[in-house]
Amino acid sequence: MKKKVLVMCTGNSCRSIIGEALINAKLDDVEAYSCGVAPSGKVNPNAKKVLEQKGIWKDEYHSKNLDEVIDIPFDLVVTVCDHAHETCPMFPRAVPKIHVGFEDPDGKEFEVFEVTYAEIKSTLLPKVKEVVGV
């Protein structure tokens, strides 16, 4: 059975979407979801573009609120921005939580999204593997 991981940030338009896509593409025994504490309602076009270029974009990825995923029995919650880390909501059951922060690329040029993608891949994936034991 796959481990379930939730990647949270504030707007759920860049970092958490990239994290969700990377985990789903690179970690065979993990199923990732993402959400925002104040979702923007859209995926940043540059986040989508970098995921498309890497061949891991799925049309099902979208900006969503915690309410859309709260009933999923997560094995791990990861916050990827300081604001989400500080305001991470209470879950209906005990869930391990870790914080792995990344600078917000929103509003910056595409090259910054490529750097963010590389940082999330090299930093977040090993942490998730370690914590969920895959």
Distance CA(40)–CA(49), nearest Å, equals 17
* Residue 37 near residue 15, CB atoms below 8 Å: no
Distance CA(8)–CA(78), nearest Å, equals 6
Do the bridges between strand 76-79 and strand 97-99 make them parallel or antiparallel, or are there none, so unpaired? parallel
- Here the tokens at position 20 are 């969700």
- Here the tokens at position 19 are 């994290």
- Here the tokens at position 5 are 């991981």
Positions marked active-site: 9, 81, 88
